[in-house]
Structure 1
Amino acid sequence: MTGCKLDIPNPNAPTDEQVLSSREGMLTLSLGMKQYYSTSALEALIITPGTTTRELKGITTFTNVLELEAGGTALPSFNGNVLNLWARMYRVMGMADELIANAPTVLATDEATRSGVLAHAYLFKAMALGGLATGFEQFPTQTNKNGQAPFVPRQQALTEAVTLLSQGIDLITATAPSTEFNTRVLGTDFQLRDCLNAYRARYQMMLGRYADALASANAVNLTSRSQFVYSSQSPNPIYQQIVVSKNYQPRATLGLPTSLLETGDARINFYTATPEVTVGGEVLRSVAGFFNEITKPIPVYLPDEIRLIKAEALVRSNGSITEAVAQINAVRTQTTGDPFGVNAALPAYAGGTDAASLLTEIYKQRSTELFMQGLRLEDSRRFNRTAPAVNVNPIPLSAERTRNFYPYPDQERLTNPNTPAEPAI
């Protein structure tokens, strides 16, 4: 039997060799990497862990959505959402690796543009590693065209992410990125230095490096705003999934137990809206916030995450409790002035000042402030929230997450002999 070749070259498209060997190609790939992350990788990071932590409820009859909603051992290794989280992060990593490998040569005589391209690539490779660490216990930290890259523990991958972010900061400190790079790739909605420091603080916290996390957080300008922008041609991906495709809907509780919900918290009505509907015995609301319009921007990070990183770092390292409470109150009592309009408008904290009480408060504030930002699953593990039991299906609502880590996608296991055994749950 004969077959026809369908991968016909597009004579109008540049080849990989042309893209990776020209200055124009470096800038175009940098912009493409940022756009792909914002429209595809970020969707997987928000939707998939967001369903696992009950921020969102899967409401369609698509098999992949039903499996993800069920969680536990009912979530198979061939689930499409799990594959998307894995594959899309690796596509981002692949683009970043190409830039890191080729920019030093291609941009050898343009130090300012090289600085921007490399620091930007370091940031997005670190973001891809962090996205994988959210969902998986182990994974490769390098793209490998033969499909047989070695796996490393997530802590090692996060350590590499922190190193990449530090390298990016060092680069742009030594040589400021060129005006052309800032204009064509970053735009006015993306502050590279603040993003590097914010993600470095995030991953240092995930690693338990509290003093380093505090130092990085202190380097972030809390009045600046970095966001991914969208258009009708490049739409907000969460709007597409929730409003257009109607695959998911936010839970009215934001996925939190009632003990962690506070009456009058203005962020609940910022992120969700009425009318309320009941599906499967659970009350759901419409999505709002950054996700209810096709062109709504999505933050790269929220400034109040940085304040809560400071508070957590202080509490976990036996630092100043007074300062930790001050950072919590800066989040709780904010009524105006947040760069993204996420204001809690709550009274000052009046709970206990022991470590356990403060960490519970920090988790509560993170869960509400950072709703649907792709951070809840990592937070749920780090704060030792109620986990699912092995071989108990369906997972009861008393468990605040339906998985600890995801199974490795079948496509990886079929081609990579280094793929580890599946996590128990």
Structure 2
Amino acid sequence: MKKILILSTLTGLLLLQNACKQQDYLNPSTASQPQVVGTPDGLITVCNALQYRYTTGGGASVIYTSLAAGGLTTGELTVLNAGNSEELALNQGQSNVTNSNGVVRNLWTQSNLVKANADLVLANLNTVTDAGTKSGIQGYAAIFRALALGTLGQFFQTAPIAVGENVPFVDRVQLFREAVATLEAAATQVAAAPVSANFTGKIVPGIDIANTIQALIARYSLFAGDYDKALAAAAKVDLTKKSVFSFDDNSRNPVFFTAFSNVNVIAPTNATLGLPAALAPNPADKRLAVYIRPVPVSTLNLGTGFFTANNAQIPVYLPGEMLLIQAEAAARKNDLTNAVAQLNKVLTKTPAQDAFGVGAALPAYAGASTQADILTEIYRNRQLELAYQGFRLEDSRRFGRPGPTAAGSERNRNFMPYPRTETDNNTSAPTADPG
């Protein structure tokens, strides 16, 4: 991500003081905001800054905070050193997670900053005359706007879409639908004009724009309950292609740098990813070797996966996610035959058959043929196939797993509290804790 480092001074220009009040921070030695967004190259610079803000910054990045918030509240991850008080509060859950929690504040703030800067790009597309360059800029900005909106929807019950003074909050399902609409508009542009070499030569490499657009349409349509759209989009994704966030020794993989490289912050709870006994993975499941290091936690952090080095790439989505989206959407439509067929593609997939080497290599599903049983098996496989991707809190709610006050609770909160930095500056922000 060296290109991002060169261009990262832009992050001092195009920021939000909070989610709902835009303010420019102008450096006399740098270009003004109108100058930056007034040319295609300026917009590409902002696109690079979008990825920089979303992925880097160690413990402040959206990638790390979503992994930590999702994993610690559901038992997927645990705190190794109680001195990490913000993470510890998430691990303890319920009222221990306050509106001043730093992980939650960073998750909220950084997601909103990414969304606002993506809005800026999309609002200035009229400055781009070359259709292929426009496809790249629009597609890239749409991907990060969707990721930001989708992340907010996964962790907060409501959030604002617009940027301005005291803008209203909307229900999380509306956030997912807004993300999908942004992606669909980009998909139309990309289909009409392939992304140009001018764009790809100036953007940080790694993201497959066309496939990622469809993958995220599938993801957020599923979360919004639009199963037909989720099925259609997931089927369009070429599962042989990779789409990744790239890193190097300067712009570091945030999870490895912050947590999995040491035994001082957070780690997987145990060798079965913190799943309850009823959902314990088959010991023969080859995905365990992908995500869990076979050594005592006192020697090395148990976590591996895509967080093994400063320069390790992180998938934007996994092929198995697309198969499991199709399985779940079919199951929820009560098309159990197709649900099991898609589930079996995940269960029987070998590491060699997967673009990222994630494969269970297990026998096909042989459980009961009821909707409830099939959905439970899909849930189990989402936690194994998509470990440390930040989905478990969203999945736990969606699949109706036991909540904070239920017997056998599998999560210690339902949603994150709204950060005080937001409630103090936006009179439209809810003040009640929705946890």
Q: Match of 2:370, as an amino acid?
A: D
Q: Match of 2:121, as an amino acid?
A: L
Equivalent of residue 258 in structure 1, options 277, 296, 306 = 277
Q: Match of 1:324, as an amino acid?
A: A
CA-to-partner distance for each residue in 1:104-129, whole Å, 9 max, x for gaps?
A: 2x21x222212221122122111100
Counterpart in the other structure of 1:412: 422
Equivalent of residue 339 in structure 2, options 324, 348, 359 = 324
Q: Equivalences for 1:5-20 in 2 at 5 Å?
A: 10=27, 12-20=29-37
**TM-score w.r.t. structure 2 length?**
0.88
CA distance in 2 between counterparts of 1:124 and 1:367 reads: 24
Gaps of 5+ in 1: 1-6, 391-395
SS in 1 for 2:364: coil
Q: Equivalences for 1:189-204 in 2 at 5 Å?
A: 189-204=206-221
**Per-residue deviation, 1:423:** 3.6
Counterpart in the other structure of 1:68: 90
Counterpart in the other structure of 1:387: 403
Q: Match of 1:411, as an amino acid?
A: T
Q: Match of 1:363, as an amino acid?
A: Y
**Per-residue deviation, 1:348:** 1.5
- Indicate whether 1:177 and 2:162 are aligned: no
In structure 2, the CA distance between the partners of 1:424 and 1:389, relative to structure 1 (3 Å rule), is farther
SS in 2 for 1:314: helix
In structure 2, the CA distance between the partners of 1:318 and 1:186, relative to structure 1 (3 Å rule), is farther
Counterpart in the other structure of 2:108: 86
Q: Match of 1:57, as an amino acid?
A: T
The answer (yes or no) to whether the contact 2:261–2:301 under 8 Å persists in 1 is no
- Indicate whether 1:373 and 2:389 are aligned: yes
Counterpart in the other structure of 1:233: 250
CA distance in 1 between counterparts of 2:432 and 2:287 reads: 37
Aligned length in residues: 403
**Per-residue deviation, 1:41:** 1.7
Gaps of 5+ in 2: 1-23
The answer (yes or no) to whether the contact 1:305–1:370 under 8 Å persists in 2 is yes
CA distance in 1 between counterparts of 2:121 and 2:305 reads: 34
**Per-residue deviation, 1:404:** 0.3
Percent of residue pairs bearing the same amino acid type: 38
The answer (yes or no) to whether the contact 2:212–2:243 under 8 Å persists in 1 is yes
Counterpart in the other structure of 2:412: 402
CA RMSD, Structure 1 to Structure 2 (Å): 2.0
Q: Match of 2:234, as an amino acid?
A: A
The answer (yes or no) to whether the contact 2:68–2:77 under 8 Å persists in 1 is yes
SS in 1 for 2:397: helix
Counterpart in the other structure of 2:74: 53
SS in 2 for 1:274: coil
In structure 2, the CA distance between the partners of 1:12 and 1:213, relative to structure 1 (3 Å rule), is same
CA distance in 2 between counterparts of 1:24 and 1:173 reads: 22
Q: Match of 1:14, as an amino acid?
A: A
The answer (yes or no) to whether the contact 2:260–2:301 under 8 Å persists in 1 is no
Deviating above 4 A after TM superposition, structure 1's stretches of 4 or more consecutive aligned residues are: 7-12
**TM-score w.r.t. structure 1 length?**
0.90
**Per-residue deviation, 1:10:** 4.9
**Per-residue deviation, 1:296:** 0.7
Equivalent of residue 358 in structure 2, options 342, 350, 359 = 342
The answer (yes or no) to whether the contact 1:90–1:143 under 8 Å persists in 2 is no
Equivalent of residue 121 in structure 2, options 77, 99, 122 = 99
Q: Match of 1:66, as an amino acid?
A: L
CA distance in 2 between counterparts of 1:334 and 1:285 reads: 27
**Per-residue deviation, 1:373:** 0.6
Q: Match of 2:278, as an amino acid?
A: S
- Indicate whether 1:333 and 2:348 are aligned: yes
CA distance in 2 between counterparts of 1:229 and 1:95 reads: 20
